[in-house]
Structure 1
Amino acid sequence: MPVLTVADEELDALGYLTECFDMHGLGEVRMCHRARSQPWPVQELLEEADLVVSLGSLSSVRDEATQEARAQECRVYRAAIERGIPVLAICYGAQVLSQELGAPSREAPSSEIGWVEVDSVDSATLPTGPWLDWHDDLLAVPVGATLLARTPVAPQVYAHGRCLAVQFHPEVTPEELDRRVAMNRDALEEQGVDVEALTAQAHRQGERSRAMTRQLFGGFWSGIAAGR
């Protein structure tokens, strides 16, 4: 049961999601990196795929330089939806999915980077957190979607058909967050982010984050992805 994953080459770690795939009988991961200059063979990529997962990005959905990569990503979502293949879209991926569904994102008043609690409609399957947010654009909820969680700042999770869009990062492990912070430390500190506190919380709540991600994915896979 292959999983097609769309990601930046620099941010393609699936982290806790890998365990979720194993738990639910999902197997081979086919990775599509957004930086590829050649057109993606979308129909071929989706052949026999049981799930599409898209991750965060170094880009903004407002960047003109990455417009063609977003267009390719939208074609993947469009074809997956037409075929009835479930989609789990995270952070930037969620914003691109919203764009494809007619709800483009807009710039946030300020970056939202840190651990957040969400107001969840069902905390048994979508825990309230804390979850890791790291974004500069606000997730928009398309017409016909069901809002499942939000913060005072913006929507965080919605379902649309067999798709789940998630603004925060359920996949990121403490070790992966350490790596990303090291890549962006100067920029984070310029934005006033306490990077030591950010990473310390990841390590402090590692097992809780793992369990919450299993809950989130389990609810998605048995409910939304199954068309229930």
Structure 2
Amino acid sequence: MEIRASTVLPARRTDIELHTADGLTLVGELAVPESRPPVATLICLHPLPTHGGMMDSHVLRKAANRLPALADLAVLRFNTRGTSSERGTSEGTFGDGVAERWDVAAALEYAEYHELPRPWLLGWSFGTELALRWGRDPAVEGAILLSPPLHRATDEDLDAWAEFGRPLIALVPEFDDYLRPDEAKKRFARVPQAEVIGVPGAKHLWVGEPYVRIVLNEIVKRVNPAAAPLPTEV
């Protein structure tokens, strides 16, 4: 069977709740391999909720639909404060990337409490800002950034990540609306361990199965290289 955009592969999927230090309950889902423990964990930080971003934004949903089965990864997705999806609505209101620091902390705390191994942050657009600003937790193994705008995240945040020392991989579409590969390489140059990968033909929203496959393969190459490249049929 060819893996298509709508393919959902077997996994154990559980509705979860995250509890923030400022008293909110956030809704989410954890997907883990069906019959074996995960080798690593993706904590997904979704695009801007005021422009339709949520835990079901398509690349993150496809990661949860495929990577537990294909790459033995746990995939934790959740709605940041005030964000709605089919799973439900998280309490609170949009915090413009500031109050969301508590949302990131709650996801990391959940992963630690449930002994999810080797957490990596997977941020997309607005989610990349959350990863860079609030994801420098000792438990975090690294971060993968999809379409980073570097709007809310500043050079000071990049310098802090450089000092943090963990891997930082940025996948930057050739035709991104906010930050394109050449400029991204200049901005990320202040992070010695950063790797910027320009993706020819891609746009900010990664529409199209070929681009989704590129993204998922690049994720797996870093997080569980033994499972790369991903198959296109099962």
TM-score, normalised to structure 2, is 0.43
Structure number with greater CO (CA < 8 Å, separation at least 6) is 1
Which one has a larger percent helix, Structure 1 or Structure 2?
A: 1
TM-score, normalised to structure 1, is 0.44
